[in-house]
């Protein structure tokens, strides 16, 4: 029994102290468990923002951390001779490393060509420290009051799992939206340090020498100062780090609930203003040539009935701008998951000027929901559906390029309706481009592929289908022209693919067997 809790055996006062000490220790176990799970989720989320492919990031972080936790538990055996001091030291190390983990990895990504190696190292070290916690807490619990091993394990596991629940819920619903990734991790690091040090200094101070107490206080103070300083200067750091990733000056940046949103603006070589939108580092458009993409996306399927139009994705409003050129369009429903993007399209002056304030048009209804879920709940039919989603380069977007998604979308078309899907680059990502064609075919359509040149992107491809399942005859309604980049002749030529970009036989993408594309070290990999 710790000298700090020792008293006359069997006395009521001793029992009360013992119960209070056990409660305090279990509360500390609850807190450090919550902190540990936040660190795991922070690393997974950061990787999905910066690199994409959430499944891969989760697999790396979880597998490395679980392996390291096993090693940490073994490594804690010799530390059980001085469990109080060892536990405090481990919590301070974990507070520092976990608190700074997001900042360290973001720095590696922004200022070097490395990311995966630092991720593995950080995940391993955090797992190592987390793994040492339970053996030391078990030893401390037994020093308060001896009990059967099974009962002690049950008590600690209950506190540990409950802490994991609270940490797991707090990260996406509280820390991430209110503080962001860097500040959220730093705050949790501070909580981690307080939980470990307070537990030891209050309940087990009798186990520490005077020098150990002084050293522990000094190190705790140093960790606190570093965490607070980093918290205060987070905005300045993020500004510098983000700018290192982009050649042009950043004019807007935000970490939304779903992604990192960045806009840059510069002067092109031709003297034009070049406004660019990036989501998680991926270019979405350049104001210099975005009209080439959006004219090709919208107008070939607008020649026909078009009273009611549905746009899935395209929250920047640039596709909607093209749709509103048709005076007989009565309604446009825009479904985009991220409210931050649609707010930007309505409120950021430069973008509003580019999209013609399209989202403020009374004919436009904006819905901020997941397109897949939203489609399942709808019964209304549309004349035209424009699918303008981010590329399928992550597991969370792969479902939007699946047989099931296209079948849902097609069920919302009138009998004479048409749908167009942006398909990525048939040059840089031919496998993905033709996989989308195969997926549309598996959903019951005969896709008509076509491509145009968008200098900021390179060659970019699309697939047009119609509700009847027959091949689509692409045409333009020149009454709303002139178009800046399209003519009937160019549209006809856009349907011709050279041999090195010809159709490939690919397997369709489904919810259970998604196909995603990932850019790894400069090479496109197809999964």
Q: Domains of the chain, with CATH numbers?
A: 12-239 (1.20.1250), 289-526 (3.40.50.150)
Residue 487 has pLDDT above 80, yes or no: yes
Residue 480 has pLDDT above 50, yes or no: yes
pLDDT of residue 10: 56
pLDDT of residue 245: 86
Which residue, among 286, 395, 404, 261, has the nearest Cα to 336 in the 3D structure?
261
Query: What tokens were used for 122?
Result: 């950080």
Counting Cα atoms < 13 Å in the Cβ hemisphere of 188 gives: 35
Beta carbons of 483 and 295 less than 8 angstroms apart: yes
Give the contacts of 445 (CB within 8 A, at least 6 positions apart): 406, 410, 419, 465, 466, 469
Residue 173 has pLDDT above 70, yes or no: yes
Other C-beta atoms closer than 10 Å to the C-beta of 117 total 10
> What is the rounded distance in angstroms from the CA atom of residue 263 to the CA atom of residue 255?
12
Query: What tokens were used for 491?
Result: 């549209």
Give the contacts of 75 (CB within 8 A, at least 6 positions apart): 128, 131, 132
The average pLDDT across 44-53 equals: 82
pLDDT of residue 17: 78
The average pLDDT across 519-526 equals: 39
The average pLDDT across 367-372 equals: 96
pLDDT of residue 364: 98
Other C-beta atoms closer than 10 Å to the C-beta of 496 total 9
pLDDT of residue 384: 98
pLDDT of residue 517: 55
Single pTM value for the model: 0.82
Residue 518: strand pairing partners = 525
Query: What tokens were used for 187?
Result: 């705050």
How would you write 3-56 as a 3-class SS string?
CCCCCCCCCHHHHHHHHHHHHHHHHHHHHHHHHHHHHHHHHHHHHHHHCCCHHH
> 3-class DSSP state for residue 354?
helix
> What is the rounded distance in angstroms from the CA atom of residue 88 to the CA atom of residue 132?
11
> 3-class DSSP state for residue 258?
coil
**Burial degree of 18 (CB within 10 A; 0-12, 13-18, 19+):** middle
Give the contacts of 360 (CB within 8 A, at least 6 positions apart): 346
pLDDT category at 135 given cuts 50, 70, 90 is very high
Beta carbons of 343 and 336 less than 8 angstroms apart: no
- Of 82 and 145, the structure prediction assigns the larger pLDDT to 82
The average pLDDT across 429-446 equals: 94
Q: Any idea what DSSP says for residue 173? A: I
The average pLDDT across 161-177 equals: 94
> What is the rounded distance in angstroms from the CA atom of residue 394 to the CA atom of residue 424?
14
Beta carbons of 110 and 241 less than 8 angstroms apart: yes
Query: What tokens were used for 273?
Result: 């203003």
**Burial degree of 488 (CB within 10 A; 0-12, 13-18, 19+):** exposed
Q: Give whichever of 111-120, 270-279, 347-356 has the largest mean pLDDT.
A: 347-356
Which residue, among 107, 93, 49, has the nearest Cα to 233 in the 3D structure?
107
Residue 434 has pLDDT above 50, yes or no: yes
Residue 455 has pLDDT above 90, yes or no: yes
Residues composing the chain: 527
How would you write 455-520 as a 3-class SS string?
CCCEEEEEEEEECCCCCCCCCCCHHHCCCCCCCHHHHHHCCCCCHHHCCCCCCCCCCCCCCCEEEE
pLDDT of residue 522: 38
Beta carbons of 460 and 425 less than 8 angstroms apart: yes
Kind of pairing, strands 308-313 and 382-388?
Answer: parallel
pLDDT category at 519 given cuts 50, 70, 90 is very low
> What is the rounded distance in angstroms from the CA atom of residue 80 to the CA atom of residue 90?
12
Other C-beta atoms closer than 10 Å to the C-beta of 167 total 24
Query: What tokens were used for 148?
Result: 């059967």
pLDDT of residue 518: 44
pLDDT of residue 516: 63
Residue 186 has pLDDT above 80, yes or no: yes
Task: Report phi then psi at 510, rounded to 5.
Answer: -130, 170
The average pLDDT across 106-110 equals: 93
> Tokens 């959006």 sit at which residue?
294
- Among the ranges given (32-46, 148-162, 321-335), the one the predictor scored with the smallest mean pLDDT: 148-162
The rounded mean pLDDT for the chain is 91
- Of 148 and 286, the structure prediction assigns the larger pLDDT to 286
Query: What tokens were used for 240?
Result: 């510098």
Q: Write out the catalytic residue numbers.
A: 388
Kind of pairing, strands 364-367 and 413-424?
Answer: unpaired
């Amino acid at each position: 029994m710790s000298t700090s809790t020792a008293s006359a055996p069997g006395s009521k006062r001793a029992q009360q102290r013992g119960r209070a000490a056990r409660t305090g220790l279990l509360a500390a176990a609850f807190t450090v468990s919550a902190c540990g799970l936040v660190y795991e989720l922070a690393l997974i989320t950061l990787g999905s923002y910066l690199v994409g492919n959430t499944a891969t990031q989760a697999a790396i972080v979880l597998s490395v951390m679980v392996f390291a936790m096993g090693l940490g538990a073994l490594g804690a055996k010799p530390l059980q001779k001085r469990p109080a001091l060892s536990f405090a030291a481990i919590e301070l190390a974990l507070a520092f490393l976990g608190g700074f983990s997001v900042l360290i990895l973001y720095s590696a990504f922004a200022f070097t060509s490395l990311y995966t190696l630092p991720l593995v190292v950080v995940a391993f070290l955090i797992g190592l420290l987390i793994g040492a916690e339970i053996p030391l807490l078990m030893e401390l619990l037994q020093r308060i009051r001896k009990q059967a091993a099974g009962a002690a394990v049950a008590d600690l596991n209950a506190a540990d799992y409950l802490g994991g629940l609270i940490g797991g819920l707090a990260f996406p619903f509280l820390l991430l939206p209110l503080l962001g990734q860097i500040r959220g991790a730093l705050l949790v690091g501070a909580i981690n340090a307080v939980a470990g040090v307070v537990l030891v200094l209050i309940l087990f101070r009798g186990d520490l020498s005077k020098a150990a107490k002084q050293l522990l206080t000094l190190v705790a103070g140093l960790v606190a100062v570093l965490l607070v300083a980093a918290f205060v200067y987070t905005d300045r750091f993020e500004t510098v780090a983000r700018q290192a990733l982009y050649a042009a000056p950043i004019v807007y940046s935000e970490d939304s609930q779903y992604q990192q949103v960045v806009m840059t603006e510069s002067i092109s070589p031709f003297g034009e203003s070049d406004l660019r939108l990036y989501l998680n580092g991926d270019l979405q458009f350049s104001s210099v040539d975005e009209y080439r993409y959006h004219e090709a996306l919208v107008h070939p399927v607008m020649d026909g009935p078009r009273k009611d139009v549905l746009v899935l994705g395209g929250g920047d409003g640039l596709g909607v701008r093209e749709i509103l050129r048709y005076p007989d369009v009565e309604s446009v429903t825009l479904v985009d998951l991220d409210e931050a993007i649609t707010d930007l399209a309505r409120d950021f002056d430069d973008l509003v000027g580019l999209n013609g304030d399209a989202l403020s048009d009374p004919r436009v209804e904006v819905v901020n929901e997941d397109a897949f879920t939203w489609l399942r709940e709808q019964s209304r039919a549309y004349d035209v559906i424009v699918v303008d989603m981010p590329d399928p380069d992550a597991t969370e977007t792969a479902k939007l390029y699946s047989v099931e998604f296209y079948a849902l979308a097609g069920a919302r078309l009138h009998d004479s309706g048409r749908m167009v899907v942006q398909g990525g680059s048939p040059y840089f990502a031919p496998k993905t481009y033709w996989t989308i064609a195969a997926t549309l075919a598996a959903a019951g359509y005969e896709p008509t592929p076509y491509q145009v040149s968008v200098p900021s992107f390179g060659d970019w491809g699309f697939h047009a289908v119609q509700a009847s399942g027959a091949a689509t005859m692409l045409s333009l309604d020149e009454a709303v022209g002139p178009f800046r980049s399209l003519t009937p002749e160019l549209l006809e030529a856009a349907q011709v693919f050279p041999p090195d970009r010809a159709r490939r036989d690919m397997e369709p993408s489904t919810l259970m067997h998604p196909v995603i594309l990932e850019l790894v070290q400069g090479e496109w990999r197809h999964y």
